[in-house]
Structure formats: C-alpha cells, structure tokens
Amino acid sequence: MNNYGEYIKALRESKGLTLRDVEKKTEVSNAYLSQLESSKIKQPSPTTLYKLAELYGVKYEVLMEKVGYPVPKGDVSLKSRKSEKTILHRIGEVTSEEEMELLDYLKFIRSRKK
Amino acid sequence: MNNYGEYIKALRESKGLTLRDVEKKTEVSNAYLSQLESSKIKQPSPTTLYKLAELYGVKYEVLMEKVGYPVPKGDVSLKSRKSEKTILHRIGEVTSEEEMELLDYLKFIRSRKK
DNA sequence: AATTAATGCTTGATATATTTAGCAAAGCTA
DNA sequence: TAGCTTTGCTAAATATATCAAGCATTAATT
C-alpha cells in the first residue's frame, strides 16, 4: 500500500495543528483527516487535496503525486525542484523521504521547546 | 450544473469512436462513459480523466478544469494558450464553446463523407 | 422482411469517499 | 482525586463512483 498518509500527517504536525484545527480551516472532518493520515483512503478528491495543500503551504501537485494521481507533464521534475517556498528551501535539494524526516524532526524540536 | 459532459462527448464523436471503442481502449465501462457524457458524475477520478485525455489527445489539465477541479497554478492560462497540437491550432485562439461547436461540425462533415 | 449486430442508455449492484456520533486515553483545572 | 477538555480514532450512516447486465432503437446482413 502507498504511504502518502505519513507525509500528510508530518505536514500537519510540523505546523503544530490538531485534527480539529484543520477541520475548522478546511471544512474536512477530523474523522476523515485521520483516515487520510493513515492512508486508508485510496482516492481522495483533488478538491480535498487542494485545501490541504493550501493550508500546509505545499504544492497541490505534490499531494496529487503522493496519492498516486497522474500529474500534468508540464510540471517539471517535482522530484528535484520541490518545496520552493518552504523552510526547507534554505537547505537545498531534498528527497521526499528526507523532507518527511526533517518535518518530523522539526516537530520534535518544537515539542522540546516547551 | 456544470456541463463538462458535452465537451467530453464532442471529443469522442469528433474522433468517430463509439462508447464501446473507448471502453476497450481505456478500460472505463461504456455505461460510465455514457453518464460522464451527460455530466451525471460530479467528481470523476483524475485517473479516469487522464485516460480519456490521452485517448482524445487533449491536455489532462483541460479535462480537470472542465470538471471543476482545481488546476495547478503553474499551468499558465489554459484559456488562451489552449490546444497547441490540435487541428484547431491553425485556426488560432478559440474559446471552449467555439471549440466544441467546431468539433461537432467536424463530426458532421465526416459523417457526410460516408 | 427477418435476424443479427451495434450503439447509447438506464437500472441495480458493489465499492469507496466523506460525514456524524461517540468512545477512550491523556491533559488540565479545581 | 474528581471532573472538564482536548485529541486521535473507530464504527455506522450516507453519498457518490464505477461496473455488469440488460433494454430499445437503429444499422447491417441474409
């Protein structure tokens, strides 16, 4: 099974948001968000993905790709050009897995800080 | 209601394909295709749209847009830059409605020609 | 003309997306 | 410690996507 949920979850946690926070801002139920984050939903609607992408400050196409949808060919090399306006930008080129780990670590750091 | 079905139907007919032809090439049931073409399906999956886009030689993003899904911002002005490698290209800039009419007319011409 | 085949469509079945209600563990507050 | 809140989660309900079967009309074929 595809593990896109972990990524989407890492995004939320890195922003210090709760499932219900996201529910309020996106109008997507926390119950559904929970299922999304455990990759239980096979084909979430693009509209839903778009809301999350906007809230988390990630490119819509990236989420589409993670979930396994075809992505417009014009979108050159998400693999390498990714996360332009993210904090991670300063660090340079990053793979998906690396990014996730970083986000996780960021979350850890913040929790430590009280 | 959104009328994306007419467009998708015009595409098929302009290629002289039957619902069952398309079913064979895309693995999408003719029953479902029929419903698509009458706009009875609110949120067809991107995967389905992608198959059709490929078969009909239209850009994936265009179908996504017609259906009402958000489309990646990088995809500059579908409105004006549309249908590059289509026959319609020679004619110049064309609106959606115009394109549909043209496709319909093309179909008519071909049917005449026996 | 009668049969057969092809075509678009509708209906009923199944699968899956999304929501509503609510539970259980953890955190707070008094 | 007892109660109130928050948080993540699950289960049941509803909505919608997708398919399989079959019907009605039209086009071929004999």
Inspect the interface and report whether the beta carbons of A70 and B61 lie closer than 8 Å: no
pLDDT digits (tens, 9 = 90+) for A63-81: 999 999 999 876 544 443 3
Q: Which residue is nearest to nucleotide D15 (CA to C1')?
A: B42
Residue A27 — left, alpha, or beta (φ > 0 → left; ψ -120 to 50 → alpha)?
Answer: left
Residue B81 pLDDT: 38
Residue A54 pLDDT: 96
Nearest CB to A75: which of B43, B69, B74? B74
Tell if A107 CB is < 7 Å from nucleic strand D: no
pLDDT digits (tens, 9 = 90+) for B40-94: 999 999 999 999 999 999 999 999 999 999 998 765 444 433 333 333 333 334 4
Residue A96 pLDDT: 56
Spatial contact of B20 and B79, defined as CB atoms under 8 Å apart: no
Residue B73 pLDDT: 75
Kindly report the nearest CA distance between residue B18 and chain A, in angstroms: 25
Whole-number distance in Å between B19 CA and C1 C1': 30
Residue B42 neighbours by CB distance under 10 Å? 10
Kindly report the nearest CA distance between residue B23 and chain A, in angstroms: 20
Q: Give the three-state DSSP class for B94.
A: coil
Low-confidence ranges of chain A (pLDDT < 50): 76-94, 97, 101-102, 105-106, 108-114
Mean per-residue pLDDT, B20-40: 98
Spatial contact of A39 and A6, defined as CB atoms under 8 Å apart: yes
Mean per-residue pLDDT, B17-46: 98
